[in-house]
Structure 1
Amino acid sequence: MQHKQDPSEGTHGDLLDIIRESLGLSDFADVLEEARRFLSLPQLEPVLNTPAPKLAPAPSGMSEAARRLLSMSSPLKGSLAATYLRSRSITDLRDTGALKFHPNCYYRVQGEDLTETWPAIIAAVTDLEGKVTGVHRTWLARDGGSKAPVDTQRKAMGDLLGHAVRFGVAKEVMAAGEGIETVLSLRQALPRMQMVAALSAGHLAALLFPANLRRLYIVRDNDPAGNGARDSLVARAHEVGIEAITLSPMLGDFNDDLVTRGLDALRAHIRVQLAPEDVSRFMTQDHVTRRSG
């Protein structure tokens, strides 16, 4: 069965992708400007020394529904969600409070008035102040060994534009990528660095910057959408005086690297892409201690 991604994953139907294709726009800045016009959001004016303008929220009903779903979910530790992440070689789950588990999350079958329930990872999408604005759902197989055998395995709801799923405490250095598993894979090598998952290439390009951010690592997926998001984010970061450094995977993304090549190879590959002062600051040997202990 060929599985599809939700629009939030940046491959099918994302509002930004629809605008880009329908209007024939190639520049991410033009796409974002048109999206703001479509959503009746205020237009951006370049202002130095500011992270980005405030964006109008999505309809409150969706954000409220997202918060309700999150409140009904349980901790990640010891759940099928943790079992699934281990199957993707993601074992270091420190600072993953944004992730929860729901044992019976509703799934609507595409094109039919039918619903099913599957275990799911529930990820909180938050703004820069920590307010929950949406959630992202990843449906899992009943044994937690893989994603659920459904057409659309991941969906998001709520106010997503500019916001993200966040891991760690915001500081002056941060890494930002598209997918949750991609970002968590990089955190296996850099567990002390704050990271965020924007959930799609389009939303990564529109990510709002924390006020104290000075260096941004852009976690690139190895595809055209990932390249476009990187270029847009680099340009936006430079406009407000933030240093932007791209981290590129060996394969399609960093989870592919982690699963296929292993953690040691991933660490070696990342090490040479970091600013020298960040190697000792963020690249710890904790995993060696845990494995030998």
Structure 2
Amino acid sequence: MVNDRELEVLINEIYEYYGYDFSGYSLASFKRRIDRLYNLDGFKNFAEFLSVIRSDEEYFKRMVEEITVNVTEMFRDPLFYKVLRTEVLPVLATKPFIRVWHAGCSTGEEVYSMAILLQEANLLHKSLLYATDLNPTVLDAARKGVFQLGMMKQYSENYILSGGKRDFSEYYTAHYGRAKFRDELSEKMVFSQHNLVSDRSFNEFDLILCRNVLIYFDKDLQEKALQLFDESLSNLAYLALGTKETIKFSPMHKRYEQLNREKIWRKIK
């Protein structure tokens, strides 16, 4: 087990060596994942663990994969996507060009879900989806647009519950237990590494989705990320968060209105 003092040293060393800032992550969540990695790989003491982190960049990448939570699925929370489909996209349709940012996109399932919504609304041709994550390994997976074929039944059910009317299998090709999604979807995506803690805004967006990421941040880091999103949204644009996340306690909430009880807010000031 790693104690709190050792965690503090680890966080400082990671920032010094690699520029990753985990200081605002939930300490309990961070400690739990470090303890798991520490025991899984059989380290005898903290000094040995820290030495490997400092000297082995590949092992550091493995640590990042263990710490960053990558739980996602296509059309996750179908009612959320139904609101996007029926209330958000008709408004975005009035714009000459649509910019969407998926912050913390993980392996990309929700990015492809959004691309399908845009295509069915005949908006994909004038859209660009920026998909970012701290973890370069999951970004590589997301770029490929290849997912487990066994998940397609669940994804298809989610899609139908979100208001989808087509045969979901139209969007992918099955091959050796994998589902490869159509290139016309990924052609409208830009994947890039981005750190919500230390990196700044890089565009003005019409819709930002950051679902089930902020729950792993402490209060100060949550506020920092929300301010970043606020700076990155154009007027009358939308911010979408996860089911357990809110802007209710942020100073910025007065400039937003919530849609239909879903975790979607529109910037009104």
With structure 1 as the length reference, what TM-score do the two structures score?
Answer: 0.28
With structure 2 as the length reference, what TM-score do the two structures score?
Answer: 0.30
Q: Which has the higher helix share?
A: 2
Which structure's CA Rg is the greater one? 2
